[in-house]
């Protein structure tokens, strides 16, 4: 079938994935595409990439009622850009708008645009602004969402400070994306927005938490995502107690001290009692097990008195009860990143965006013993390559005694370890770390070569290794 013989509905569907400039380019190629462009009524107006001259041509050819999306970004335009825009377009006539995105506007520009929008069909409003330049933006937004029937609101704030939005209680907002939120703002959101079903918080700011017992529980919120949260487990539980009707929960917390957030039993008890409707729970938690310190050269170290070695098996065991594996079908992986020295526990597939592929000691949901891995945690689980790992070079990785102890845990398991060559030159293992490695080598029957140059292992470290060599020969 030739392209110009396609039904107009199919061409319109293709146009849905094209910008206005592309559609205009296509309309001059044949009568069929020209006619389809004239009847198409789902145009997007993106002033960020359109000059005033081009815009004047566009609006002469396309009726304003055929635009359903508007993107306005100040960019590098002159200060008069908003007046130029309003002189070309009567925004009040954009009466079929479904989506509006505004970026970089100041208070006056934002107010002039929003007060002219009178569409009853707007489903989505996205505003990207700098609070240092916009002092009245929260009041403007509050007024707009009370007047316009918005279903989805995305607020991206640059230069956060502790200002509050007066969320109108009578608005029909169902989906809210906000990049920064405090404890008290969260409580006001779920209390005032009675129709809110989906809430995404980019970063949960840890400020003074005061639980307001007078605020009612939110029965409407079903989906909650917090992309970065550092609150203690007890405060996280207080937040979640306000939303007992959750069916989907996503939490990410990194660079935190090891606490009860990593305790599967605590989560099981809390979910059973406080979140009985929860169907999907996705999380990614990362900890250094104890407070991490840095010397003047940027090298990481731990205070020995703070650190208590916790094996991967002991961490993951509470996440392997019938509640997790059978009742909920939530499968959890635990690993230790050798270079950065972080313990991570997360549901599979992992919800992190970064394509992390560090060398690590890993314990998958189906594993009984840890193994070495470098596969990206974002990809589908396929341990074929990991199980055939025979040579591992970890030179110059700042590996200390803490990391050496987790390496030793993996080396102790003959079935899990296929390594025949391990190089740890120029690290910070020292005699304490060598002791862990030497203990592991007493039961490991696969490793043939171990390089430990420039690790300050001392006389005691040499003695540990020599004892193992004598025992295994």
- What is the per-residue pLDDT across 10-52, written as a single tens digit (0 to 9) for each? 988 998 888 888 888 888 888 888 888 889 999 888 876 556 6
Task: Assess whether pLDDT exceeds 70 at residue 164.
Answer: no
What value does the mean pLDDT take over residues 372-395?
66
Rounded Cα gap, residues 359 and 427, in angstroms: 15
pLDDT of residue 279: 96
Rounded to the nearest 10 degrees, how much is the dihedral formed by the CA atoms of 393, 398, 402, 405? 20
How high is the pLDDT of residue 292? 54
Query: Which of 1 and 335 is assigned the larger pLDDT?
Result: 335
For the segment 59-98, what is each residue's pLDDT rounded down to a tens digit?
888 888 888 888 888 765 666 677 777 788 888 888 888 8
- Predicted local confidence at residue 284, as pLDDT: 94
Does the pLDDT of residue 276 top 80, yes or no? yes
Q: Note the pTM of the prediction, 2 decimals.
A: 0.81
How many other C-beta atoms lie within 10 A of the C-beta of residue 310?
A: 17
- Looking at residue 362, what is its pLDDT? 86
Of the ranges 126-130, 206-210, 326-330, which is most confident? 326-330
User: For residue 236, what pLDDT band results from cuts at 50, 70 and 90?
Assistant: very high
Residue in 151, 144, 150, 110 with CA at minimum distance from that of residue 129: 110
Across all residues in the chain, what is the average pLDDT? 81
Give yes or no for a contact between 56 and 85, defined as CB atoms under 8 angstroms apart. no
**For 213-222, 237-246, 396-405, which range has the lowest pLDDT when averaged over its residues?**
213-222
Mean pLDDT within 384-408 = 75
- Give the count of beta carbons closer than 10 Å to the beta carbon of residue 174: 19
d(CA 282, CA 329): 11
Residue 256 — pLDDT band, cuts 50, 70, 90? confident
Q: Is the pLDDT of residue 118 over 90?
A: no
Q: Of 21-30, 229-238, 265-274, which range is least confident?
A: 21-30
Lowest mean pLDDT among 50-54, 378-382, 400-404: 378-382
* pLDDT of amino acid 50: 58
- Give percent of the chain with pLDDT exceeding 70: 82
Structure-model confidence comparison of residues 269 and 298, the more confident one: 269
Distance between CA atoms of residues 456 and 148, nearest Å: 68
Q: How confident is the model at residue 297 (pLDDT cuts 50, 70, 90)?
A: low
Task: Mention every residue, 6+ apart, whose C-beta is less than 8 A from residue 118.
Answer: 92, 95, 148
Token duo for residue 29 = 């190629």
pLDDT, average across residues 284-307: 61
Higher per-residue confidence, 354 vs 346? 346
- pLDDT at 271 > cutoff 90: yes
Nearest to 223 by CA among 201, 191, 238, 253: 201
**Helices 401-411 & 430-441 angle (0-180, nearest 10):** 0
Distances in whole angstroms, Cα of residue 412 to Cα of each of 138, 311, 393, 438, 468: 58, 12, 18, 10, 13
Q: Give, rounded to a whole angstrom, the gap between the first and last alpha carbons of the chain.
A: 76
Confidence class for position 270, pLDDT limits 50, 70, 90: very high
Confidence bin at 162 (pLDDT 50/70/90): low
Contact between 311 and 362 (Cβ < 8 Å):
no
Q: Could you tell me the CA-to-CA distances from 302 to 99, 103, 288, 299, 325 in Å, in that order?
A: 50, 44, 9, 10, 35
């Amino acid at each position: 079938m030739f392209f110009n013989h396609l039904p107009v509905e199919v061409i319109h569907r293709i146009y849905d994935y094209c910008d206005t400039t592309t559609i205009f380019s296509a309309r001059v190629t044949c009568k069929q595409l020209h006619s389809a462009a004239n009847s198409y009524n789902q145009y997007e107006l993106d002033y960020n990439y359109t000059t005033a001259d081009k815009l004047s041509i566009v609006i002469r050819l396309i009726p304003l009622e055929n635009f359903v999306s508007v993107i306005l970004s100040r960019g590098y335009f002159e200060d008069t850009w908003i007046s130029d825009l309003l002189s070309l377009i009567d925004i009040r006539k954009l009466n079929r708008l479904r989506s509006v995105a505004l970026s970089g506007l100041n208070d006056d520009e934002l107010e002039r645009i929003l007060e002219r929008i009178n569409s009853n069909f707007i489903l989505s409003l996205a505003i990207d602004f700098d609070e240092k330049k916009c002092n009245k933006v929260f009041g403007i937004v509050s007024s707009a969402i009370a007047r316009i029937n918005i279903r989805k609101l995305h607020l991206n704030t640059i230069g956060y400070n502790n200002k509050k939005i007066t969320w109108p209680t009578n608005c029909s907002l169902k989906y809210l994306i906000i990049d920064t939120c405090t404890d008290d703002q969260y409580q006001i959101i779920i209390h005032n927005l009675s129709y809110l079903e989906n809430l995404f918080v980019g970063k949960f700011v840890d400020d003074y938490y005061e639980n307001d017992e007078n605020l009612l529980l939110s029965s409407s919120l079903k989906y909650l995502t917090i992309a970065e949260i550092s609150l203690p487990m007890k405060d996280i539980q207080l937040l979640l107690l306000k939303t007992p009707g959750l069916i989907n929960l996503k939490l990410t917390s990194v660079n935190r001290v090891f606490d009860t957030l990593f305790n599967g039993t605590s989560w099981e008890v809390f979910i059973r009692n406080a979140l009985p409707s929860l169907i999907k729970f996705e999380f990614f938690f990362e900890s250094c097990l104890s407070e991490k310190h840095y010397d003047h050269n940027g090298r990481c170290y731990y205070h020995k008195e703070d650190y208590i070695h916790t094996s991967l098996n002991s961490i993951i065991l509470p996440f392997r009860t019938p509640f997790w594996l059978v009742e909920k079908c939530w499968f959890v992986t635990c690993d230790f990143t050798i270079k950065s020295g972080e313990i991570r526990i997360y549901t599979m597939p992992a919800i992190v965006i970064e394509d992390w592929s560090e060398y690590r000691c890993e314990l998958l949901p189906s594993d009984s013993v840890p193994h070495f891995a470098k596969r990206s945690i974002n990809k589908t689980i396929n341990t074929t390559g990991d199980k055939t790992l025979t040579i591992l070079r970890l030179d110059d990785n700042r590996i200390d005694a803490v990391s050496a102890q987790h390496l030793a845990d993996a080396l102790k398991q003959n079935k899990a370890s296929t390594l025949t060559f391990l190089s740890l030159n120029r690290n910070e293992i020292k005699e304490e770390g060598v002791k862990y490695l030497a203990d592991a080598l007493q039961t490991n029957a696969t490793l043939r070569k171990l390089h430990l140059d420039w690790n300050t292992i001392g006389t005691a470290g040499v003695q540990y290794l020599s004892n193992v060599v004598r025992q295994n020969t």
